[in-house]
Amino acid sequence: MIRTLEDLRTRLGEIRGADRSSSGPRVALVSTLGALHDGHIDLIREARAQAEVVVVSTFVNPLRFRTADDTARYPRSPEADEIVLRDLGVDVVFAPSASEFLPAGIATTRVSAGDVGLRYEGRVRPFYFDGVLTVEAKLFHLVRPDVAVYGERDLQRIFLVRKMVRDLDFAVSVATVPTVRTDDGLPVSSRVALLEPADRRAAAALPRALEAAASNADLGVDACIAAAQSSLMGEARITLEYLSVVDPETFLPVDDGHHGRAFALIAATVGGHRFIDNAEISLR
C-alpha cells in the first residue's frame, strides 16, 4: 500500500530492477476510484493475465467531480478494498491523498479531451473527461505500464484514453474487459446497491432499451433509436439524458448511411442516481 509519489517510484524501480539492459517484468495498471466491486475484480484478473506485475490505483480523482462536496460524497471502503486487493495478489496499491497526487489542486495543468470529450457524458459534465485524462496521463507517467485495463461500461473513456495514447505517444497498450452485469442486466457499479426496490426495477429498463436498439439495427439508425425510446415509455422513474448511436472510429453520431459496427450509448437518472450503459450493434 503506497501513498506517496516518491515511494511509488522507489517501489516500481525495485520491481523493475537495476539492470536497465533487461526489459524487466511486464506491468499492468488498473486505475479505479476505490469502492471496489465485481467489475473491478474482473479488470484486475485481466491485468494479472496480461502482466507479471499488477498496479492498482484507488485515487478518488477530484477533477472528475463538479464540487468538493461531490468528491466527498463518493463512496469509500478502504478496509474492504485492501482485503480484496490482497486476496487477488495485487503487487502495488497506489492510494495517494489528493494533496499528494494533485498538489496544485484544481489549478493543475490539464489534458484536454477535445470535441468528443464535450459530447455525451461531457455534455452533462463538461469538466469530466479533462479531469479523467489528466489523472490517467499522470499515472501513465509515474507507473509506465505496458498495459492499462478498462471496463467496457466506460466506452467513451476508453475511446478518449486510446486517442490520448496515440496523440501523446504513450508506450502503453489499452486492454478492455466486457461489462459485468447484475442478474437484471444492469452494469455493476456502486450506485446499483443504493437504489430502492422500485427504482431498481425501473433501472432494468435501460439495458432492455439497448437490446431493443440492437434488435432493430437492421432497419437503420432512426429505427434503432426509436425502438430504444419506445421501450422506455411509461417508465416515470427514469429521466433519459441521452441516447445516441456512434461510429466506433470517431465516436461521433452516425449518419443515415452508416453500415456496419456501431455503439448505442444511453445515460439516465433513476432514483437520483446516474447510470450509463452501451451496446455494440450492427447497422445494415
The annotation places the binding site at 151-154, 180, 188-191
Which residues are known to be catalytic?
40
CA–CA dist 164, 110 (Å, integer): 12
Edge to edge, the sheet with strand 173-177 lists 92-94, 53-58, 27-32, 147-151, 173-177
Angstrom distances, CA of residue 83 to CA of 79, 90, 162: 7, 10, 31
> Residues comprising the binding site for ATP?
151-154, 180, 188-191
**How far is the C-alpha of 212 from the C-alpha of 231, rounded, in Å?**
7
